[in-house]
Structure 1
Amino acid sequence: MIYIVMGVSGCGKSTVGSLLADKLGLSFFDADDFHPVENVNKMASGQPLDDNDRAPWLSLLADKIVQWEQNGGAVLACSALKQTYRDLLCSTTNQVVSFIYLHGEKSVLHSRLTSRESHFMPDSLLDSQLQTLEAPTEALTVSIDNTLEQIISQILKDIN
C-alpha cells in the first residue's frame, strides 16, 4: 500500500509521514528529496514552481511509487496540491494510493513556517501554495490543530 501525506508547506507532512511509516512498518520518503536542483533553487529564491517545473518531478515520483509498491509499500510526504498532480502520481500503478490531507488555517501554517529552520522553502511562498491547492475530495482529511499523537491515531483508525 502507498500512502501519500499531502498538503501545503508547513502542515507537517514530513513529521506525520515519518511517524506513520514507523507505525505501519513501511519505508518513508519525502518528495522534497527528489526535486531537481533547479526547483530547489527556484523555491529558495522565493519563486513558486509552475506546472512545467513540477511535471518531471511528479513523473519521477510516479515511477518511484511502482518501485516502493513492489518493495511492500511506503509512505510519501508530497504536497500534491492539484488533482492533476495526484492523478499523475497514481498513473503508473493499478493499486490504490491513499491520500491523507493535512489541513490547517493559514495563520497556523504561517506560524509553523516562520519558526522552521534549515528548509529551502521560504514562508513567502505559502500564499502561492494556498492559491494552487485544490483540496482533495477523495482523501482522509485531518486537521493539524490536533496534537501529533491525535493526528497519527486518527489516521491509523481511519485507514485500518
Structure 2
Amino acid sequence: MGLLLRGVLVRAAAIGLATGARSTSAATALVLTAMPTDPAPLDRLATVPAKIAAGVAAAGELVVDKLPVAPPRSDPPGLVPRLLLAPVAAAAADRRDGARPDRWTALNALVATAAAAASAVGGVHLRAALQRRLGSDLPGAVAEDVLAGVLARVGGRREPGPGVTARARGYAE
C-alpha cells in the first residue's frame, strides 16, 4: 500500500476515533471546513446556518456527556449513531477531496467504523479507570473532549495528501 493511500486511511481512522469518542466531532469538523466549491451535496454544508447548527450540536454533546444521566456510549443507543456517522463522515471527506466512490472509499468507511467502535468501547474503560484513579469523572471527560477535537481536526483536514487526488484522477495506488 502506497504512502499516499496510508495518509487517507489514517484520516479515516482519525474520523472514526473522534466519532467514537464524541459522535458529532468528525461531522462537525467536516461542516466547519466545508466550502461552497465542494462537490454537491457537500457544498450545502458551507452555509452559516449549517456551521452554527454543527457547532451547537457539538457543544450540546460536550455538555450532555458530563451529565450523570448520559447513556453509556457502548450501549446500542450510544453506539449505533457512532457506527453510522463514522463511515458517512469518512466517505464525505473522500468525496469532498475529489475521490470517486471506489473500493478505497469502502475501505475507509470500514476503517472509520472499526475505529469508532474501538474508541467508543475503549473510551468507556479508560474513562472509568481515570475516574477510579482520580476520584472524579470530569478529568477523563475533558481529556476525551480534547482528544476527540484533535482527532476530528486531523480527520477533517482538507488535503490528506496526494493520495485522494491520485484516486480522483484514476491512478492506481
| Superposed pair shares fold, TM > 0.5 | no
Higher strand residue share: 1
Which structure has the bigger radius of gyration?
Answer: 2
Higher helix residue share: 2
TM-score scaled to structure 1, two decimals? 0.28
